[in-house]
Structure 1
Amino acid sequence: MKIKLKRIAVIILTFTACTAFAQKTNQVFNLGSNDIVVNGEFNDFKLEIEVRQEVAGVEIATLTLTSPQKAVPSKFSLKWGVPSNNIAGYWSSHSFLDKTIAPDWGPSTVRSMLAREAPVICLFGHDDSNRQTFAVSEVLNTVISTTAVREEDGMMYNEIQFFTEKNRALSTYRVEIRLDSRPVPYSQALNDVADWWASFEQYTPAQVPEVARMPVYSSWYSYHQNVAMEPLLKECKLAKEMGFESIIIDDGWQTMDSNRGYAYTGDWEPERIPEMKEFVKAVHDLGMKFILWYAVPFVGEKSKAFERMKGKTLSHWKSQGTYVLDPRFPEVRKFIIATYVKAVEDWDLDGFKLDFMARFTANKDTKLVANDGRDYASVNEATDVLMTELMSALRKIKPDIMIEFRRPYVGPAMRKYGNMFRADDCPNVATINRIGTSDLKMLSGNTAVHADMLMWHYDEPVETAALQLLNVMFSVPQISVRLADIPEDHFKMIQFYTAYWLKNRKVLLDGQFHPSNPLMNYPMLSGWSSKKKITTVFADMVVPLEILPGTAIDIINAKSSKKIVIDVKGKSSQFQYTIQDCLGKETMSETVSLQEGVFSFEVPPSGLISFTQLD
């Protein structure tokens, strides 16, 4: 509510400028001191553009297309250039490992829609500052955003394309473009975009129950499809003692087929765990929540449901033996919704891990028309209706139901349905998990950001195994090793760092957050509140440390070397510092006077140093 009230006040207090164009191309308007070229054939549509200032340095253009009768809008785009002064790279939900600027013959591109990516690009400086961030309010239908540098003039050229796919006939279309040129940290610019999206009534994020922000045990990497009640209950007992509050039973419960495909998926009968109701109750008796995996779009070619759904599919994933259902058919939506409602009512589930949502997408062969039994032309719009109706039905049964989605279907509209966003699958690759969770965190607001399930080889030195957890400390951890089988020191390491995470989760999850040096894939992560700052460092580099009154400081050494070097700024102060290894064993505790300058400490690999002010 606070966000919406603030938004209304901004509109009232700032200026507006209106221009109308009809049947013209290459028209120009000004947004944030940028000349924006509107390129397109508008035919019967009249285009009105209103520009307003949200705050100093942030302007929003509202584009409204109107036609006296319904018509199919043609493709149009917005183009502008900006000098490449101190632009080191670009950030998008799709950039991931490569945030370098591309040349204009192969521009950096993000293609966003309901279940894929997000329509935002941030150009950042060598000092992690925001140079220019542009975002679009259209998060349902396809938007193509690009940025590139032209070698002839050293300019960055940006473009936003609309209606690149055939759309249904419209009489009115409205979209907002938000351009942020403030010299703030790029992470703040992205956080503010997430808040902007959330301020739209149609994109109001789902409530996040507290349990969705607590550690999770996952069956996937530890058991894969070989799931069974008794061994998993044993894991739950051990996990619960550590502070894990829910379990996700992943793929495998619904079929005896272990070929890792989806040919038998779609009936959703608990073939491998026939005692599902008893299993859920036993987990509840331990004080934990029970989340079950489903592949929402799939109806396997060998499932009984396939005959019912025949002819109501979007595509065939041949290698996986499954068809992708077409949500534009009301029978498909009814079938999917009934499946999940029945599961909650029959088994008393607490949530769902809803997988493969990105498969709900049109392809080159999709006929975007509402006929032959389809009541929607757009796949995206039909998916939105499906998920809206599904969430309404589930929340009537369990208002605090948990819904997990994973990259790339974690855009702003998906926050309406899901309250847990997870990094993409990255088994045993800690760096990828760090990048994925950090990227998610900057655009997800209060939606709980989860790490991909953590796993490692049990012969790993405990300091190396700990890196899997340390790379995702600023997200909700999901553990997927066999707690009953791992070495004793691995078990103690999970105990120690889970306890540390629980003690500091308000800072780790809710504090200000900044991943440094995006071109270097975030070698340092920092989070802070008014009373504490936590920095995790993944490479040998100098850690800036500003002394603020009453602020405790933790630095986690998430690397194999022992040296932690800090560069102190601020008024001199006395600190008690304590060094612990990854098992929680204290290796040193002394008093030190910190004043401006550089200090060095020996911290065990995967250990941490904690500073507490004494004066």
Structure 2
Amino acid sequence: MSTLSSDAVTTAELDPATYEPLLDQVEIAVLASGADPQWSLTERSDGLSVLHVEATGEPVEIRLSVPLGDAAGYWHPQAGWRRTLLADWEGRARVSLVDGLATGCLYDHTGATMLAFSAADPVPEVQLRFGVSEENDTYVVHMTLPASPGPHRILFVPRSESVATAMRALRGWYAATTPAMPVPESARLPVYSTWYAFNQQVDAEAVEAQARLAARLGCGVLILDDGWQRLGSGRGYAGCGDWLPDTDKFPDFAGHVARVKATGLRYMAWIAPLLLGPAAGCYAQWAPSAPAPARAPGAYVLDPRRPEVRRHIVEMCTALVRDHGLDGLKVDFIDEAMVYAGDGGGDIGHALTALLTDLRTALETVRPELLLELRQPYVGPGMAAYGNMLRSFDCPADATANRVRTIDTSLLAVGGTVHSDMLLWDPSAPLEAAVRQLIGAFHSVPQLSVRLDSLPPEQLDALGFWLGQWRRLRPQLLDGRVEPGRPDDLYSLVESSADGVSVVSVHSERAVSLRPTAFEETVLVNASDVDRLVVDVQDPGAVVDIDVHAPNGRMIDRGRIDLSPGLHSLPVPRMGLAVVRRSS
């Protein structure tokens, strides 16, 4: 079998293979080192097609090829900012349960998909190579899958009108086949996090002061981040491993947790259970089980393939939650386990499945309505059983990154609720700078991380207004049908709709398609840099009532207008909001 060897600069240099039609314009070739692999494609009633590859327990290479046509971009969970068309000598990925997923979507300039696929089993480690084949004028995706006791299965979605439409079909498969972790109501409420507000300089009194204000604003959870634990100082991780409260900062940690919970908030604490630092008291005991250094500076990584490591982590986390009255954990750096990938010691995905299954079971024994936060990149559908808060990767003060990363996560999120990275802004900056951060997180659960008692009154008023609007529109923002547009456009116009209400967030100067007869209410959020929104009425139009709010929430205009078909300019200020309702 040909492999995805680094010796081959382009896919055209690999051993040739015989391609056959698969679906639409996609062609396929399947290779294995043993007997000739057999494949078949079965169309399901839900519109998905399932590729079955029989390879008698051998690793398999699946090659896909699509004519370039009018291709515009390629989305996959590890795309980051590189979501246009790479050359095949550049496009490479290694994915696993805790780092992405073997899935991808090629789309054209209309936004319609040309290829949308995903591995049915998200656990095994898969190597991918993808990009434009300069020699063949095609877009190619090559996947190498490890040996499997049963057939290899790849899901395909026929040509769809958008990436989001194709991903909804794939998400439906995973939702039906994955027993997702229950999601308590508190996981769907705004969160206050200590990280950007305090970094590691936390203490009981300061946290309790923020908790009281956060509860009044409508938050449902407080997350105590890094710094609560003994040796939790400095930005390295050499002190990780003991996970005992720092008694100088929290003399009575359980009492502190109880006081915060008395405000109505649920309480979670940060932990990085796989990290082991040389300064930890338990380092000598566990160092033999952590031979590889972490990417996180100063620490080593406990090998989750070892049963004794899994037992230790489960016992440690359970004791932390039980002994201090916590409602859950923010579980960080799980992807560090990939340092052991490919070393011949066993599959990391299967080991983490065992660890996380045992961890959830043990924690739910002491906290039936358990909260567990996971973070990109380990928030794919394979993790649905192990976390119910799926957070965007760190992007401090970057509203664009928060928008892109939360929507990327939501495309394949199963079960759990997508959360933003913590919101950080400069209290001395103009009000619009603060509101921009809130709007960037609007289509997810916002997590706040500023010192609420230090905000200017106008910013605090704005925070109350936008969180109030978010709570009112939560059915649309979290549960509605979302159409964010093309990934390479960075989701500059996002529409979420449900129950006769549409929420449209506009992040660039453009004409916004509006259908006033299709919805009882349309909420227009102006995150552009101009003090107006241009709408293009696409249906017969309607007489509507419109309320316009300034960034701080103050109503600045109210009236009734005739939105006839065609273009209209609405005076909505930047970082402001307009509510459009059909007149009765």
- The verdict on a shared fold, with TM-score over 0.5 as the criterion, is yes
Tell me if 1:78 matches 2:69: no
1:116-163 CA distance string (max 9 Å, x none): 011110111212222220111231121123332233443222222113
Q: Quick one: which of 171, 179, 199 aligns to 1:224?
A: 199
Partner of 2:284: 307
- Aligned counterpart, 2:559: 590
Q: Secondary structure at the match of 2:173?
A: helix
Give the whole-Å Cα distance in 1 for the aligned partners of 2:73 and 2:518.
35
Q: 2: CA distance between counterparts of 1:215 and 1:473?
A: 11
Give 1:318 shift: 7.9
**Which residue number in structure 2 is paired with residue 328 of structure 1?**
305
For 2:260 and 2:102, locate their aligned partners in 1 and report how far apart those are by CA, in whole Å.
Answer: 40
* Pairing 1:415–2:384 present: yes
Counterpart residue number, 2:435: 466
Match of 2:353 in 1: 384
> What residue identity is the alignment partner of 1:188?
T
Cα distance in 2 for residues equivalent to 1:145 and 1:447: 27
| 1:142 has 2:125 as partner | yes
Cα 1:176/1:257, change in 2 over 3 Å: closer
Q: What SS is found at the alignment partner of 2:151?
A: strand
Give the corresponding residue for 1:508.
Answer: 477
Q: Name 1:456's counterpart in structure 2.
A: 425
Shift of 1:230: 1.2
**What do the CA deviations read for 1:410-457 (whole angstroms, capped 9, x no partner)?**
122111101111111111111111110110111103420000000111
SS of the equivalent of 1:176 reads strand
Does 1:31 pair with 2:22? Answer: yes
**1:115 is paired with a residue of what secondary structure?**
coil
1:221 alignment partner AA:
Y
- Structure 2 counterpart of 1:126: 109
Does the Cα contact within 8 Å between 2:232 and 2:240 map onto a contact in 1?
no
Letter in 2 for 1:37: A
1:218 deviation in Å? 0.3
Aligned to 2:175: 198
Task: Please name the residue that 2:408 is paired with.
Answer: 439
Match 1:316 to one of 289, 293, 301: 293
Task: Kindly state the Cα deviation for residue 560 of structure 1 after the two structures are TM-superposed.
Answer: 2.9
Name the CA shift for 1:157/1:549 in 2 (closer, same or farther; >3 Å): closer
Decide which of 204, 209, 216 is 1:234's aligned counterpart. 209
- The secondary structure found in structure 1 opposite 2:161 is coil
Q: Distance in 1 between matches of 2:443 and 2:508?
A: 17
Partner residue, 1:50: 40
Instruction: Provide the secondary structure at the position in 1 that maps to 2:372.
Output: strand
- What is the distance in 1 between the residues matched to 2:568 and 2:389? 40
Partner of 1:251, secondary structure, is coil
Q: Which residue does the alignment assign to 1:358? A: 335
Match of 2:43, SS state, is strand
CA distance 1:54–1:110, change in 2 (3 Å) = farther
AA at the equivalent of 2:80 = F
CA distances 1:520-549 after superposition (whole Å, capped 9, x unpaired): 211111111131111111111111102334
For the residue of structure 1 that corresponds to 2:445, the secondary structure is coil
C-alpha contact (below 8 Å) 1:89/1:519 kept by paired residues? yes
SS in 1 for 2:459: helix
Tell whether the 8 Å contact from 1:575 to 1:611 is kept in structure 2 after alignment: yes
- Cα gap change, 1:603 to 1:319, in 2 (>3 Å): closer
Secondary structure, aligned partner of 2:256: helix
Secondary structure of the residue that 1:90 maps to in structure 2?
A: strand
Q: Do 2:241 and 2:282's aligned partners in 1 also have CA atoms closer than 8 Å?
A: yes
2:86 match: 102
1:50 positional shift: 3.5
Aligned partner (choices 210, 214, 219) of residue 185 of structure 2: 210
2:344 matched residue in structure 1: 368
**Is 1:487 equivalent to 2:456 in the alignment?**
yes
Q: 1:338 aligns with which of 295, 312, 315?
A: 315
Aligned length: 567
1:525 maps to 494
What is aligned with 2:10? none
CA distance in 1, matches of 2:52, 2:487: 31
Cα RMSD for the two superposed structures? 2.0
Q: 1:30: Cα distance to partner?
A: 4.6
Equivalent position amino acid for 1:470 in 2:
I
Residues 215, 246 of structure 1: 8 Å contact kept: yes
| 2:215 alignment partner, SS class | helix
* Pair 458,309 (structure 1): closer, same or farther in 2 beyond 3 Å: same
Q: Output the CA distance in 2 between the equivalents of 1:263 and 1:569.
A: 59
Q: In structure 1, how many angstroms separate the alpha carbons of the residues matched to 2:423 and 2:50?
A: 41
Quick one: distance in 2 between partners of 1:206 and 1:56? 24
The separation in 1 between residues aligned to 2:287 and 2:216, in whole angstroms, is: 47
Asked if 1 retains the 8 angstrom alpha-carbon contact of 2:329 and 2:372, the reply is yes
- In structure 2, relative to structure 1, the CA distance for the partners of 1:318 and 1:181 (3 Å cut) is closer
CA distance in 1, matches of 2:226, 2:442: 26
3-state SS of the aligned residue for 2:410? helix
**Match of residue 267 from structure 1:** 242
Cα 1:568–1:446 shift into 2, 3 Å? farther
1:600 counterpart = 2:569: yes
In structure 2, which of residues 225, 229, 244 is the aligned counterpart of residue 254 of structure 1?
229
Q: Is the 8 A contact 1:360 1:380 kept in 2?
A: no
Whether the aligned pair in 2 keeps the contact of 1:191 and 1:445 (CA below 8 Å) is no
The offset of 1:217, in angstroms, is: 0.2
Structure 2 unmatched runs, 5+ = 1-14
Matching of residue 498 in structure 1 with residue 467 in structure 2: yes
Residue identity in the other structure for 1:79: R
SS state of the match for residue 393, structure 1? Answer: helix
Residues 104 and 116 of structure 2 are in contact (CA less than 8 Å); yes or no, is this contact kept in structure 1? yes
Say which SS state the counterpart of residue 381 (structure 1) adopts: helix
Cα distance, 1:550 vs. partner? 4.7
Change (3 A) 1:35 1:464: closer
More moved, 482-491 vs 248-257: 248-257
- Which residue of structure 2 lines up, in the alignment, with residue 41 of structure 1? 33
C-alpha distance in structure 2 between counterparts of 1:227 and 1:520, whole Å = 39
The AA in structure 1 aligned to 2:354 is: V
- Asked whether the equivalents of residues 362 and 379 of structure 1 are also in contact (C-alpha less than 8 Å), the reply is no
Unaligned runs of 5+ in 1: 1-23, 68-72, 370-376
Give the TM-score of the pair, scaled to structure 2: 0.93
- Using the TM superposition, give the Cα deviation of residue 610 of structure 1 relative to its aligned residue in structure 2, in angstroms: 1.0
Aligned to 1:284: 261
Distance 1:478 1:335, change over 3 A: same
Percent of aligned pairs with the same residue?
A: 29
Alignment map for 1:115-194 (pairs within 5 Å):
115-163=98-146, 172-194=149-171
Q: Is the 8 A contact 1:121 1:145 kept in 2?
A: no
CA distance in 1, matches of 2:300, 2:133: 43
Deviation at 1:289, TM superposition (A): 0.1
Cα 1:339–1:598 shift into 2, 3 Å: same
Task: Tell me whether 1:552 sits opposite 2:485 in the alignment.
Answer: no
SS of the counterpart of 2:124?
A: coil
Instruction: Give the TM-score, by structure 1 length.
Output: 0.89
Aligned partners of 2:518 and 2:125: how far apart in 1?
Answer: 49
Contact 2:276/2:287 (<8 A) preserved: no
Distance 1:354 1:412 in 2: 17
Go from structure 1 to structure 2 and tell me whether the alpha carbon gap of 1:379 and 1:493 turns closer, same or farther (over 3 Å shift): same
Letter of the 2:268 partner, please give it: I
Relative to structure 1, the CA distance from residue 57 to residue 31 in structure 2 (aligned partners, 3 Å threshold; closer, same or farther) is farther
